[in-house]
């Protein structure tokens, strides 16, 4: 193994628990809550179970990697579920399929093989496409309340300037989340506490596996490979100068889904956008994951109702997502071929990630072949 790949020895000194880690923990909630809240509202999935497994795996992954590795809902599956017509059994089936796939890829060193075959410019294109998608999503939230959005954006910008010139800790995510909670309490009052019950196992039938595989697992797999694994591994090196084996990410995604989804959890993965969010708002160690996980566990165990999440206006999440997108776009532009990266990003935004990924690969290899011929 490469000597630069981070070893997995567990030392307390590797973890920080401060305002920066707390800010990083809250910084990724925009994407997390916007998807799982939508899923819980349109499907029969229990929000408490979803949050329970997210909380547990945030802590486990933070302890293992000792870095702020995000846990995110699988976005393609989330979007399809929110659009309607998908049963919980189909969601469970897709999570099991993807869990098995990425566990096999991880243990067979499949991600290293794919990483060697996929040009960096294509991966950067996926990063940039996610930044564009996040910008689009953030504007959908921002237009709900322009005044609140501008107020939140000003707060984030002021902390950004203060951090750059005066080294003041950036707690902007904490501040605007608190503002959102106060606004929600003012409008809706204190939500009722809802204690979570013990989850039961869900066993999909053959038809669930067929439909869940076709409608959910197949479209999700390319995004997970590129953004959740390869792009996250690359961004981890950009931000922390640490090489994290992409096969380790693949294995963790496999374990997360196989141990969570059959018991009511939602399909989970990592993600470059979430990593950019946690880093942007102060996360520098696995302590951010532990804090994030504990907060989610408390919500899951005692406040597992959609009403609690709905306290925070979506506009607040929109402001967070906009700055996350900017952070991610900066790294997406660190490419050796702006042509390929731009094509992948635009196609992913206009069509979908799978087609953009395939076309980007073809274009990259055509350019490589042409360059060899010209020499």
Residue 319's pLDDT is: 87
Cα–Cα dist 127/359, whole Å: 16
Residue 4's pLDDT is: 45
Residue 141's pLDDT is: 87
Residue 6's pLDDT is: 46
- Give the CA distances from residue 271 to residues 32, 70, 227, in Å, rounded to whole numbers and listed in that order: 11, 6, 6
Q: Which structural domain range is residue 131 located in?
A: 13-191+198-374
The answer as to whether 2 is a domain residue is no
CA nearest to 219, candidates 44, 54, 94, 364: 94
Residue 339's pLDDT is: 93
Residue 215's pLDDT is: 86
Q: What is the pLDDT of residues 100-113, one digit of tens each?
A: 999 999 999 999 88
Q: What is the pLDDT of residues 45-102, one digit of tens each?
A: 888 999 999 999 999 999 999 999 999 999 888 878 876 778 999 999 999 999 999 9
Write down the H helix ranges in the chain: 19-27, 29-42, 47-65, 75-83, 88-107, 110-117, 120-142, 146-166, 172-188, 206-212, 218-223, 232-240, 246-260, 272-280, 287-302, 306-309, 314-332, 338-350, 353-374
The answer as to whether 180 is a domain residue is yes
Spell out, as residue ranges, where the chain has pLDDT lower than 50: 1-8, 10
Identify whether the C-beta of residue 121 lies closer than 8 Å to the C-beta of residue 336: yes
The answer as to whether 235 is a domain residue is yes
How many residues are given for the chain? 375
The answer as to whether 3 is a domain residue is no
pTM: 0.80
Cα–Cα dist 127/341, whole Å: 9
The answer as to whether 307 is a domain residue is yes
The answer as to whether 326 is a domain residue is yes
Residue 13's pLDDT is: 56
With left for phi above 0 and alpha for psi between -120 and 50, is residue 190 left, alpha or beta?
Answer: beta
The answer as to whether 284 is a domain residue is yes
Residue 83's pLDDT is: 66
The answer as to whether 8 is a domain residue is no
Residue 12's pLDDT is: 53
Domain count, the chain: 1
- Give the CA distances from residue 330 to residues 128, 129, 169, 289, 317, in Å, rounded to whole numbers and listed in that order: 8, 12, 21, 23, 20
């Amino acid at each position: 193994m490469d000597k630069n790949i981070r070893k997995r020895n567990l030392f307390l000194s590797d973890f920080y628990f401060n305002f920066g880690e707390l800010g990083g923990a809250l910084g990724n909630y925009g994407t997390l809550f916007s998807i799982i809240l939508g899923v819980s509202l349109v499907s029969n999935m229990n929000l408490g179970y979803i949050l329970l497994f997210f909380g547990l795996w945030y802590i486990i992954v933070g302890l293992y990697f000792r870095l702020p590795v995000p846990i995110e809902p699988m976005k393609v599956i989330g979007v399809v579920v929110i659009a309607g017509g998908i049963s919980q059994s189909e969601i469970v089936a897709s999570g099991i399929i993807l869990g098995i796939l990425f566990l096999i890829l991880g243990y067979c060193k499949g991600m290293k093989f794919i990483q060697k075959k996929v040009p960096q410019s294509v991966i950067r294109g996926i990063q940039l496409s996610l930044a564009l998608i996040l910008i689009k999503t953030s504007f959908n939230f921002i237009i709900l309340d322009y005044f609140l959005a501008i107020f939140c954006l000003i707060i984030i910008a002021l902390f950004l300037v203060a951090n750059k010139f005066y080294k003041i800790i950036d707690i902007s995510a904490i501040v605007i989340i608190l503002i959102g909670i106060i606004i929600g309490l003012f409008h809706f009052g204190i939500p009722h506490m809802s204690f979570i019950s013990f989850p039961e196992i869900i066993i999909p039938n053959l038809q669930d596996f067929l439909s869940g595989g076709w409608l959910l697992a197949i479209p999700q797999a390319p995004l997970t490979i590129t953004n959740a694994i390869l792009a996250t591994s690359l961004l981890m090196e950009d931000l922390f100068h640490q090489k994290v084996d992409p096969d380790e990410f693949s294995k963790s995604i496999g374990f997360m889904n196989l141990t969570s989804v059959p018991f009511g959890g939602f399909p989970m993965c990592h993600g470059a956008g979430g990593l950019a969010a946690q880093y942007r708002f102060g996360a520098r160690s696995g302590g951010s994951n532990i804090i994030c996980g504990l907060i989610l566990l408390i919500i899951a165990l005692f406040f597992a109702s959609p009403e609690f999440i709905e306290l925070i206006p979506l506009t607040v999440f929109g402001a967070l997502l906009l700055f996350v997108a900017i952070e991610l776009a900066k790294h997406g532009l660190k490419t050796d071929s702006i042509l390929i990266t731009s094509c992948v990003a635009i196609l992913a935004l206009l069509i979908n990630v799978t087609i953009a990924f395939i076309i980007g690969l073809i274009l990259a290899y055509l350019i490589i072949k042409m360059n060899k011929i010209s020499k």
